[in-house]
């Protein structure tokens, strides 16, 4: 066997060993990596005082979103709660179920605003809610959703809502999704990958829209630039005296 052939075989063997070593390392640290991937979706912003709490549609079987919203209401975070829910029939839907869940958890009926809609996605739900928020004159909105759904919600609402409305997202603990062990249950795996696909679709649909924070920054930058130009113009114009 020639020396060049022996060298090629050795290099391929080394490459194979390195690949096997890499796979072994990934296998050993798989749980921390999976935990990190699950925790990436969880985003929980500080629940500051708001004009209204909005509970997004499609709560789970245990009504974890409604329970979290009721806790926030009892803590005095906001005086009203919007029960946002898809219509299941022309005469009833998830909003009615959510209203029942909120009342069972101590929220008075007078504080609940039912908002039935036919939105088929979080983006469509956010777009429908902009009309309600504008009509009611609410300026500070706290959106309640499940922990795994919080980051996508933050992304969508930040691009759909108007810049004059402050939006925060509060993540409800979800009994069907544990960020530290999501891969150990079928429903956890399903929720994780559904969220991965959903976020990708939302990013594609809203790729041309800037977030509220970016829009505000552009307004501030434009205003500052305009003021600077005005100052420069005033410095070069001669003084005019009126008698």
pLDDT tens track for 54-69: 999 999 999 999 999 9
Q: How far apart are CA 119 and CA 73, in angstroms?
A: 25
Q: 88-146, pLDDT tens digit by residue?
A: 999 999 999 999 999 999 999 999 999 999 999 999 999 999 999 999 999 999 999 99
Q: How confident is the model at residue 16 (pLDDT cuts 50, 70, 90)?
A: confident
Domain count, the chain: 1
Instruction: Could you list the beta-strand ranges (E) of the chain.
Output: 52-55, 81-89, 92-93, 112-117, 140-146, 166-172
Residue 229 within a domain: no
Residue 114 dihedral angles phi and psi, to the nearest 5° = -75, 135
Residue 29 falls inside a structural domain: no
Whole-angstrom distance, CA of residue 72 vs CA of residue 78: 8
Q: Would 225 be classed as within a structural domain? A: no
Instruction: Classify 87 as helix, strand or coil.
Output: strand
Q: How far apart are CA 23 and CA 25, in angstroms?
A: 5
Q: Is 35 among the domain residues?
A: no
Which domain covers residue 61, as residue numbers? 40-215
Question: Which residues fall within 8 angstroms of residue 13, CB to CB, at 6 or more apart?
Answer: none
Gap between the Cα atoms of 71 and 52, Å rounded: 14
* Token output for 189: 């795996």
CATH number of 55's domain: 3.40.50.620
Is 223 inside a domain boundary?
Answer: no
Residue 242 lies in a domain: no
pLDDT band at 7 (very low <50, low <70, confident <90, very high): low
Residue 19's pLDDT is what? 76
- pTM recorded for the entire structure: 0.78
Residue 11 falls within a domain, yes or no? Answer: no
């Amino acid at each position: 066997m020639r020396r060049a052939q022996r060298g090629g075989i050795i290099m391929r063997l080394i490459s194979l060993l390195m690949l096997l070593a890499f796979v072994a390392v990934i296998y050993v640290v798989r749980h921390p990596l999976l935990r990190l991937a699950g925790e990436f979706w969880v985003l929980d912003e500080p629940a500051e005082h708001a004009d209204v709490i909005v509970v997004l549609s499609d709560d789970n079987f245990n009504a974890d979103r409604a329970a979290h919203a009721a806790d926030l209401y009892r803590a005095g975070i906001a005086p009203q709660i919007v029960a946002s829910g898809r219509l299941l029939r022309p005469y009833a839907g998830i909003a009615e179920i959510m209203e029942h869940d909120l009342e069972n958890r101590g929220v008075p009926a007078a504080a609940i605003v039912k908002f039935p809609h036919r939105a088929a996605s979080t983006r469509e739900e956010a777009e429908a809610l902009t009309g309600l928020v504008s009509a009611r004159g609410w300026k500070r909105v706290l959106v309640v959703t499940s922990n795994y759904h919080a980051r996508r919600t933050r992304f969508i609402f930040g691009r759909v809502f108007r810049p004059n409305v402050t939006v925060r997202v509060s993540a409800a603990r979800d009994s069907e999704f544990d960020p530290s062990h999501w891969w150990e249950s079928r429903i956890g795996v399903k929720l994780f990958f559904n969220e991965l696909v959903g976020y990708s679709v939302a990013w594609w649909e809203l790729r041309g829209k800037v977030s509220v924070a970016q829009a505000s920054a552009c307004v501030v930058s434009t205003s500052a630039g305009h003021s600077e130009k005005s100052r420069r113009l005033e410095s070069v114009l001669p003084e005019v005296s009126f008698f």
